[in-house]
């Protein structure tokens, strides 16, 4: 960049910072929404809408046209064969045209691991999903070091081992309460009554969000992460902006309320917002509202869909493998290993996206600077080069802990221990109460190329006699 450019860049960034700091965040969200609507009016921005059609078999699609970003791939159960074909025939695969533009797919375990560990050549900025979010919110999962490291450091205390230990009893009592209120005389929706409920309670605790309003967190998370433009979901742009606006208003007020309490000399809590307020790197984040909003959204979305779908996925996996359920009942000490196997088997987030920072060769392919590269964890976790019989669910699998569902490198999931702890407690408490957990009928799946999850799963419980 020449001097003139860099002066202009600095001036632009200063103006942006000033605007960010002085215009209330909900107004900034509304302004971005208006801009998108205006673009729509002049025909510059047609919102994406995905209509489900039966997908052809993997063997019938020309290799160069295989599109694993199709948001119905998981729902239609075609993903095994599509990814197997890519792993075997084109492990670093280029798709020139998709609703999200061109992108590379990396599908073998070892290749994914190597890219995830190489933040210099593969940047997480500006985003980690395949499409574009129509609002420039900044979150540290989509930043590179050193800024990433500072922001992560500021909030990771909330899930530090000491804090988790203190939270364990509370989480257990909340899970027990949810399970004790489940019907045993009729089927019910496991997703709504258990997975969403437990995850919502945990998030409200982490954020010190009003407990009785916790379903709002679920609604915002689902709506924001389900935007069609980003992940092929079913959220329309207008709903996305409205949910983001509501979230912004709510958390700005939570921030100011907490700041006032701190100023009055109240003991600081150990929740996420207080941590941000008391850390040097983030105490002024409120003056950068889109960054504040981004990092809260990250925590809410990161901790929501993922744990929730592991809670539902585990039930489905054990239902489909009754021999494993018997094995579990005979030896409950296998629960921690089973939790890893559930997370491997489910792979709640199908991929993370990177962008090549320079022209480079990888896996025999030439990747250009600026190209999008998707690391498909869902495929790596089923790579027969890494796991024996990878499609089988084996609760005492020896290398289950080597799954890649939490990623690797600087962005490795910050909440992994919390997620594992919740799942461990859930299964400990379930075994105390229920002898059989049957899935009744076919579960309903989320429409997305990113979130691998369930929107409904009817379950029938048989109590321990």
Positions touching ligand HEM (CB under 6 A) are: 116, 140-141, 152, 159, 298-299, 302-303, 306-307, 310, 343, 348-349, 352, 405-409, 411-415, 418-419
CB nearer to ligand HEM: give 58 or 317.
Answer: 317
In three-state secondary structure terms, 391 is coil
Q: Which is nearer to ligand HEM, 241 or 345 (CB)?
A: 345
Least spacing, CB of residue 120 vs ligand HEM, in Å: 15
Parallel, antiparallel or unpaired: strands 372-376 and 122-123: unpaired
3-state secondary structure 109-133: HHHHHHHHCCCCCEECCCCCCCCCC
Rounded to whole angstroms, how far apart are CA atoms 419 and 414? Answer: 10
Q: What is the dihedral of CA 66, 69, 71, 75, to 10 degrees?
A: 60
Closest contact distance (angstroms) between CB of 152 and ligand HEM is 4
User: Minimal distance in Å, beta carbon 7 to ligand HEM?
Assistant: 32
Identify which of residues 32 and 303 has a Cβ nearer to ligand HEM in the complex: 303
Displacement of CA 69 from its chain's centroid (Å):
16
Instruction: Tell me the closest approach of the beta carbon of residue 174 to ligand HEM, in angstroms.
Output: 15
What percent of the chain is helix, strand and coil (3-state, nearest 5)?
Answer: 55, 10, 35
Q: How far is the CB of 117 from ligand HEM (least distance, A)?
A: 9
Token digits for 101? 């533009």
138: DSSP letter: -
Comparing CB distances to ligand HEM, the nearer of 50 and 408 is: 408
Residue number, 228 or 413, with CB nearest to ligand HEM: 413
Closest by alpha carbon to 321, among 192, 428, 420, 439? 439
Q: Give min distance, CB of 274 to ligand HEM, in A.
A: 15
Question: Rounded distance, CA 168 to CA 174, Å?
Answer: 10
**Min dist. Cβ of residue 175 to ligand HEM (A):** 14
Q: 134 or 303: whose CB is closer to ligand HEM?
A: 303
> Which H helix or E strand runs over 73?
none
Name which of 311 and 461 has its Cβ closer to ligand HEM. Answer: 311
Which CB sits closer to ligand HEM, 188 or 255?
255
- The DSSP code sequence of 242-260 is HHHHHHHHHHHHHHHHHHH
CB of 34 to ligand HEM, least distance (A): 30
Q: Which CB sits closer to ligand HEM, 276 or 299?
A: 299
CA distances from 219 to 225, 246, 305, 450 (A): 10, 11, 11, 17
Q: Minimal distance in Å, beta carbon 386 to ligand HEM? A: 17
Cβ atoms of residues 348 and 405 within 8 Å: yes
Beta-ladder partners of 454: 445
Pick 244 or 422: Cβ nearer ligand HEM: 422
Q: Which residues contact 182 (CB under 8 A, 6 or more apart)?
A: 188, 193, 194, 461
In 208-321, which ranges are continuous DSSP H helix?
215-225, 228-231, 237-263, 272-278, 289-320
Q: How far is CA 79 from CA 55, 70, 238, 400, in A?
A: 10, 10, 30, 21
State in angstroms the smallest separation of the CB of 311 from ligand HEM.
Answer: 9
- Which of 58/299 has CB closer to ligand HEM? 299
Which residues, in sequence order, are bridge partners of residue 425?
Answer: none
The DSSP H or E segment spanning 62 is none
What CA–CA distances, in Å, run from 199 to 212, 225, 348? Answer: 14, 16, 14
Report the nearest approach of ligand HEM to the CB of residue 198 (Å): 11
Peptide bond into 341 cis (omega under 30): no
Nearer to ligand HEM, 91 or 415 (CB): 415
* Beta-bridge partners for 367: 360
Q: How far is the CB of 409 from ligand HEM (least distance, A)?
A: 6
């Amino acid at each position: 960049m020449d001097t003139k450019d860099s002066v202009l860049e600095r001036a632009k960034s200063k103006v942006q910072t000033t605007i960010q700091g002085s215009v209330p965040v909900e107004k900034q969200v509304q302004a971005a929404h208006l801009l998108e609507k205006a673009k729509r009016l002049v025909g510059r921005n047609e919102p994406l809408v995905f209509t489900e059609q039966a997908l052809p078999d993997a063997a019938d699609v020309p290799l160069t046209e295989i599109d694993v970003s199709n948001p119905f791939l998981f729902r239609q159960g075609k993903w095994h064969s599509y990814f197997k074909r890519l792993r075997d025939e084109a492990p670093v695969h280029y798709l020139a045209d998709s609703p999200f533009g061109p992108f590379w797919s990396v599908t073998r375990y070892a290749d994914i691991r190597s890219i995830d560990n190489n933040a210099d050549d593969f940047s997480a900025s500006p985003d980690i999903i395949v499409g574009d979010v129509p609002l420039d919110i900044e979150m540290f999962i989509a930043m590179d070091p050193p800024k990433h490291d500072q922001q992560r450091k500021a909030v990771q205390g909330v899930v530090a081992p000491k804090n988790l230990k203190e939270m364990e009893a509370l989480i257990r009592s909340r899970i027990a309460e949810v399970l004790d209120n489940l019907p045993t005389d009729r089927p019910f929706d496991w997703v709504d009554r258990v997975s969403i409920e437990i995850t919502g309670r945990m998030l409200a605790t982490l954020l010190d969000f009003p407990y009785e309003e916790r379903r709002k967190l679920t609604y915002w998370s689902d709506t924001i992460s389900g935007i069609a433009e980003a992940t092929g979901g079913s959220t329309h742009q207008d709903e996305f902006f409205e949910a983001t606006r509501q979230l912004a208003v709510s958390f700005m007020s939570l921030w100011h309320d907490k700041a006032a309490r701190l100023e009055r000399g109240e003991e600081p809590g150990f929740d996420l917002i207080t941590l941000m307020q008391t850390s040097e790197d983030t105490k002024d984040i409120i003056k950068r509202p889109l960054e504040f909003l981004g990092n809260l959204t990250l925590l809410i979305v990161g901790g929501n869909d993922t744990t929730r779908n592991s809670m539902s996925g585990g039930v489905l996996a054990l239902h489909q493998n009754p021999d494993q359920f018997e094995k579990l009942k005979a030896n409950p000490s296998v629960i921690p290993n089973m939790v890893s196997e559930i997370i491997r088997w489910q792979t709640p987030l199908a991929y993370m996206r990177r962008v090549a920072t320079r022209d480079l060769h990888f896996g025999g392919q030439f990747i250009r600077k600026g190209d999008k590269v998707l690391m498909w964890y869902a495929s790596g976790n089923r790579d027969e080069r890494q796991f024996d019989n990878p499609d089988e669910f084996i609760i005492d699998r020896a290398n289950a802990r080597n799954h890649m569902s939490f990623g690797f490198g600087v962005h490795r999931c910050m909440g992994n221990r919390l997620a594992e702890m919740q799942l461990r407690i859930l299964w400990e408490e379930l075994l105390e109460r229920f002898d059989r957990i049957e899935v009744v009928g076919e579960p309903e799946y989320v429409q997305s190329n990113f979130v691998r999850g369930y929107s409904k799963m009817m379950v029938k419980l048989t109590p321990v006699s």
